Copies of this chain bind each other. A is one copy, B any other.
């Protein structure tokens, strides 16, 4: 969503509202009813431009979708995956009532096979993924992450700027506590110790590397193709006095050089593309020492589904959340051994709830930085994602692996849970 409102290839229908009469309206009325039917008649109403309201059943619907002009209706009918998001963010359709409630009502109602109108809300679905070449990866990542560091600092956790799923040791943990707990959880799963040499693939604003250096005494080389993030992270390492132990490199994960004790990647796999998993496995094989281990943290799915057109076009170009089966492509070619998989999808729903709440609180400032269309698009994206994680349409997999012949890993996972119960301790560490 780097584009400002005026750059979106949409023309808003500025003509005066046309009357709902005549032959055209007879067709359109059938279109509205067909839309409700295609959604399995969820408890929502559709109100068109002149105030006429349509819904099934006797009880008044909980939420109403207002379609403000006929062009929006026609576009929704023609390419719902793409135009629901655009029409929502330009204000040509409006949800009256709670947006999350609306999204979940529609998602639950839709048939399990997915697809169809509003499937954007169902699960961030559909269409063939493109191959992420080095060049395209750079462009895609620029699109999303170079938006503006300032924008993300408005609503992410303040200390480590984690734009990935947090870990809530208890439901009441704050976002800051949960992101720190996530960083500890990752470091413990890796068995990180002082002096360990770590390579990180896709480092965001560099928070994990800073944390590993500061709290675990590790040496980190972190790769990222987002220029703004690399500059930001490098400055933070200097500010924190760990620039001798954390180096940020503006380059693609495919160009990682050297050998390391730990490989870690948090929230990059979604951007890699299944076609590149074997070569990611090869990179890890090349850079991980025999005694090493690794962790990959990624959004995933229970069954293969392609990305929704709108999200793919406006929010996350080139993104694809894989199934565990697809992820195994990384490991099976090189005798990596999967030691631990944890599904944190409820943690991502909670993380997104925190983000949305913070986003709403700074909405005015976001509108000043961008425009109303941007605010609406991001609200839809965050809300749709909460719904997808709550309804089990998206998963969050944390996978720990090592070399098949390496027995240097803990017998049990008990050590992961020894201090998480004390949030204060997490903070003071």
A interface list, Cβ under 8 A from B: 112, 167-171, 302-304, 323-325, 328-329, 331-333, 335-343, 345-347, 390-393, 395, 397, 403-407, 409, 411-414, 416-417, 420-421
State in angstroms the CA–CA spacing of A405 and B392 once bound together.
Answer: 5
What is the CA–CA distance of A412 and B407 in the complex, to the nearest angstrom? Answer: 26
- Are B342 and A340 in contact, with the CB atoms below 8 A? yes
Contact A412 B325, beta carbon cutoff 8 Å: no
Chain B hits for A332, CB < 8 A? 302-304, 323, 325
A170 to B137, CA, bound (A): 46
Bound Cα distance A131, B204 (Å): 48
B405 and A414 contacting across the interface, CB-CB below 8 Å? no
> Which of the residues B341, B405, B406, B414 comes within 8 Å of A420, measured between beta carbons?
B414
Number of copies of chain A assembled together: 2
CB distance B393 to A404 under 8 Å? yes
CB-CB < 8 A to A168: which residues of B? 411-412
**Chain B residues with Cβ under 8 A from A413's Cβ?**
342, 413, 416-417
Which chain B residues lie closer than 8 Å to A169 at the CB level?
Answer: 412, 414
Q: Which residues of B contact A328 (CB under 8 A)?
A: 323-325, 328
Q: In the complex, A233 Cα to B245 Cα: how many Å?
A: 60
A337 and B302 contacting across the interface, CB-CB below 8 Å: yes
Name the 8 nearest CB pairs between A and B, nearest first.
A341-B341, A392-B404, A325-B328, A414-B417, A339-B343, A392-B405, A303-B332, A417-B417
A-B contact pairs, 17 of them (CB 8 A): A302-B332, A302-B337, A302-B338, A302-B404, A303-B332, A303-B333, A328-B328, A338-B397, A339-B342, A339-B343, A347-B411, A390-B407, A392-B403, A412-B417, A412-B420, A413-B416, A414-B417
Which of B329, B337, B392 is in CB contact (< 8 Å) with A392? B337
**Set of chain B residues within 8 Å of A416, measured between Cβ atoms:** 413
- With A390-B407, A392-B403 given, can you name 8 additional A-B contacts, CB distance below 8 Å? A168-B412, A171-B411, A323-B328, A324-B324, A340-B341, A346-B407, A412-B420, A414-B420
Smallest CB separation, A61 vs chain B (Å): 22
Looking at the assembled complex, report how far the CB atom of A347 sits from the nearest CB atom of chain B, in whole angstroms. 7
Assess the A395–B337 pair: CB atoms within 8 A.
yes
Q: How far is the CA of A411 from the CA of B304 in the complex (A)?
A: 25
CB distance from A279 to the nearest CB of B (A): 17
**Min CB–CB distance A53 → chain B (angstroms):** 30
Please report the C-alpha to C-alpha distance between residue A323 and residue B401 in the assembled complex, in whole angstroms. Answer: 14
Chain B residues positioned under 8 Å from A336 (CB to CB)? 302
Residues of B within 8 A of A407 (CB): 346, 390, 392
Tell whether, in the assembled complex, residue A335 and residue B302 are in contact, meaning their CB atoms are under 8 Å apart.
yes
- How many angstroms from the CA of A303 to the CA of B405 in the assembled complex? 13
Query: Which residues on B sit within 8 Å (CB–CB) of A405?
Result: 391-392
A421 and B411 alpha carbons, distance in the complex (Å)? 13
Distance between Cα atoms of A413 and B328 in the complex (Å): 23
* Chain B residue nearest in CB terms to A108: B405
Given contacts A325-B325, A411-B171, A392 and B406 within 8 Å (CB-CB): yes
* Max chain B C-beta neighbours (<10 A), residue from A390, A417, A421: A417
Q: Roughly how many angstroms separate A346 CA and B402 CA in the complex, as a whole number?
A: 13
Report how far A72 CA is from B273 CA in the complex, Å: 52
A180–chain B nearest beta-carbon distance, Å: 15
CB distance from A298 to the nearest CB of B (A): 13
Distance from A110 Cβ to chain B, minimum over Cβ atoms (Å): 12
Q: Tell me the complex Cα distance, A404–B343, Å.
A: 12
Which residues of the partner chain B approach A392 to less than 8 Å between Cβ atoms? 335, 337, 403-407
Most chain B CB atoms below 10 A, which of A112, A171, A342:
A342
C-alpha spacing A331/B405, complex, angstroms: 28
Given the complex, which residues of B lie within 8 Å of A325, measured CB to CB?
325, 328-329, 332
**In the docked arrangement, what's the CA distance between A336 and B341, Å?**
15
Do the beta carbons of A338 and B337 come within 8 Å of each other? no
